[in-house]
Structures are given as C-alpha cells and as structure tokens.
Amino acid sequence: MPVLGFGTWQNDDPEQCAESVRTALETGYRHIDTAQIYHNEAAVGDGIAAADVPREDVFLATKVWIDNLAPEDVVATTEASLDRLGVDSVDLLYVHWPSRTYDPEATLGAFADLRDRGLVDRIGVSNFEPHHLDRALDALDGDVFANQIEVHPLLQQRELREYAADHDTELVAYSPLARGQVFDVPELTAIAEKHGVSEAQVSLAWLREKGLTAIPKATSEAHVADNWRSLALDLDDEDVARIDGIEADERQVHPGFAPDAWD
C-alpha cells in the first residue's frame, strides 16, 4: 500500500472528482481512496480510466457504508461499487464504521467471502477502537490489513498507533491536515518555515515518520502537488519531538453514529 494516498471525501462534483483523480495519478500518486457514501465511485473510476497509468499500478480502496453491513448487503453493494468504479476488484475494502448494521462475525464473514471470490484483495476496517479491533481480529483469524482513522498532529491517536504496531495492522490516516487546522498550529508553522515547506507537508511527513499512510484530500492541482512534495521532506528528531509534544485532542469528524467509546 503506497504510503501517500489521495482522498476523495466531499469531492462529489463528478467532473472535478474525475479530473482531480486523474491529476493525482499523473502527479505520481498510486493510492486512491473512496467510499460508497461519498457518492463519487463512478467519477473516481472515470479518473482512473482517464489517467495515463495502468490499473494494476493503482492501489484502490473503497468502504461499505453502515446501512449495508448485513451480509447480503455487503455482497450486493460491493458488487455495485465495483461496477461504478469500472474495475474487477479493489485492493482494499473497509467496513466504514462499526455502527448500525455491523456485526463482527456476519459482516466480516461476508467480506471474507468476497475476498475468496477475488473481488477484494485485502480486508480493512475504519473508525475502529481497540475493543472493536479485538472482535474483528477474532472474526478474521487475525487477518485485518488496515484500520483507517482520523490522525493528525492535533489528534495523535497514541493508543491506536500502539495497538496497530502490536497487532501488525496498518494505520491509514484520514483528515491528515485536520480539515485545514494544521495551518494554524504554531509548532507546525515554525517547522514549515525552517524547511521552506507548507504546514501540510509537515503534517504528512510526521505521519509518515510514525509509520502511517495518509490520504489527504485535494481538488486543485496546486494542493495535489504540494501534498505530493511531502514525500521529499525529512523531519529531524527535533521536529518530530516538537510535534509529538503538541497537547491536543481535536477530533474533526464525530458523527452521531460514532462508536460509544467516543461519547
């Protein structure tokens, strides 16, 4: 899984979405993330098809929405997602949230069946806390590839990072720029000025330093390129320690159906 991906949340104008995906791929990104609830899978597929990049070089992930987690709905809606994306399979399929129709054994059993059919290469979860992960790992005999969660310097998720390391599970960071809040963090601004880069690049480089994959959203070509340049930024130990020392717990995404552990 490429360490820097391209997020498409709230990128729901079909033409803009397809163009931004094409731009991202032709800039160098090889990891595209979408979801059923984003209502843009068809546009994402159009962007992949339009890019001068072979499909087999693209790591493509989507997510099953919380209304669709009963086993029969997992299968039917995933098949529909593949049709919209215009692909035979996805590299990673996530449970979007452990909520509503989610049942660990039944839902993840359907995910495993899709993998056995070759429609899904890897199984992931999203917005899972440790106790959700324990049951998911049990249901899949330890085979949970990734947990996609909100992570950034203002929400450092130390417990989940430690859990992922202990259980050999990848962590994928959504909202890695804290929905733009990283531009107003003095520590990040100081580090950005030191290196002559943007605060966005600093946040993405810090996540990479921590072993996380990040999937920043961007629509403009300038932001797509700026985020991509974070791969060339090497933070020193002082930079990392300064970011580690930020004392904040500022979650940007907290819907009413979020796990009770967040209440």
pLDDT tens-digit series, residues 108-144: 999 999 999 999 999 999 999 999 999 999 999 999 9
pLDDT above 50 for 35? yes
pLDDT above 80 for 259? no
Give how far Cα 50 sits from Cα of 26, 47, 217, 262, Å.
Answer: 10, 5, 19, 40
194: which 2 tokens? 């030191």
Mean predicted confidence (pLDDT) in 134-156 = 97
Which residues are the active-site residues?
38
Domains plus CATH for the chain? 6-180+213-223 (3.20.20.100)
pTM, full prediction: 0.96
Question: Which SS3 state, helix, strand or coil, does residue 121 take?
Answer: coil
Residue with tokens 């330093």: 209
Backbone angles phi, psi at 211, to 5 degrees: 85, 15
